[in-house]
Amino acid sequence: MRNISLALIAIVLVLGGAGVWLNGPLPLDIEATRLLQQGIDARAAWIEWLSETAGWPLIVVSTLVAGLFAASLARLPGALAVIIGVGIAMASERLLRLAIFVPRPSPELVEVAKASASSGLPSTFAIFYGAACGGLILLTHRTRGREAMAVRIAAWALLIIGCAGRVAAGAHWTSQVLASAALGGLAAILAARLMKMR
């Protein structure tokens, strides 16, 4: 767990710090977005729908659903760990938005499905799903059984597909999504330790 935490901290500091320093896309961000947009329609309905699950008020429902899966795997402590992890992640997201501003992708560089004047870093979607899916992945880590495996695979798939969708939609650069998801994962680890789950 220590190595995973250190890797996530490195991702947050390197990618997030570089994004703030350069105040724009990192090397390969533009290329990664264009590559994804070749295979994923930037205006695909599923991207917008999935994005809404990390926004108000659906974020409450999404958190409760993740909590129910966690409760099925590890009872009340597991559910609380996931919910607390999401709370820590979203509090971090609010604080970071007060402290920094990093531009989102611009239509001059890549296709942008929906323009927004808010900061691209952190990504609300990625930090939320990093915490919620990260919490479920932690609970199923080294756990056998069909339910644990199904939850672990679904959590990874949802996190990866959702983050790829946000990049393909031109909502965030890849570096912004990776740094945000890593920060969400750190929140999940902290919550699991607080609840003595790991």
Residue 75 lies in a domain: yes
Show Cβ contacts of residue 47 under 8 Å, excluding neighbours closer than 6 positions: 40, 113, 165, 166, 168, 169
Specify the pLDDT at position 74.
Answer: 87
State mean pLDDT over 50-72: 95
Is pLDDT above 80 for 83? Answer: yes
CA–CA dist 165, 160 (Å, integer): 8
Average pLDDT over residues 112-127: 93
pLDDT over 80 at 1, yes or no? no
Alpha carbon distance 66, 79 (integer Å) = 8
Residue 32 lies in a domain: no
Please give the pLDDT value at position 119.
93
pLDDT digits (tens, 9 = 90+) for 9-57: 999 999 999 999 999 899 999 999 999 999 999 999 999 999 999 999 9
pLDDT given at position 115: 86
Domains held by the chain: number: 1
Asked if 120 and 176 touch (Cβ cutoff 8 Å), the reply is yes
State yes or no: pLDDT of 103 exceeds 80: yes
> Would residue 161 count as lying in a domain?
yes
**Phi–psi pair at 11, nearest 5 degrees:** -65, -45
Whether the per-residue pLDDT at 195 is higher than 90: the answer is no
Q: Which two tokens stand for residue 11?
A: 């991702």
pLDDT at 2 (0 to 100): 81
* Containing structural domain, residue 190: 2-24+46-194
14 versus 141: which is more confidently predicted? 14
Q: What is the CA radius of gyration of the chain?
A: 16
Q: Are 131 and 67 in contact (CB under 8 A)?
A: no
Is pLDDT of 142 > 80? Answer: no
Long-range pairs for 55-62: beta carbons < 8 A, 24 or more residues apart: 55/124, 59/90, 59/128, 62/128, 62/132
Let me know if residue 127 belongs to a domain.
yes
In the chain, what is the greatest distance between 2 CA atoms, to the nearest angstrom? 49
Is residue 33 in some structural domain? no
Quick one: tokens of 148?
Answer: 């644990």
Average pLDDT over residues 87-95: 97
Domain-located, residue 146: yes
Q: Look at the pTM and tell me if it is higher than 0.85.
A: yes
Whether 139 and 60 have beta carbons less than 8 Å apart is answered as no
Average pLDDT for residues 60-76, to the nearest whole number? 94
| 65-91: average pLDDT | 94
Mean pLDDT over 71-96 rounds to: 94
Q: How confident is the model at residue 198, as a pLDDT? A: 61
Query: Side chain identity at 86, as an amino acid letter?
Result: V
For residue 136, give every residue at least 6 positions away whose Cβ sits within 8 Å of its Cβ, in sequence order, or none.
Answer: 66, 69, 70, 73, 82, 151, 152, 155
The answer to whether the CB of 171 falls within 8 A of the CB of 123 is: yes
pLDDT above 70: percentage of residues in the chain: 99
Identify the band that residue 144 occupies on the pLDDT scale cut at 50, 70 and 90.
confident
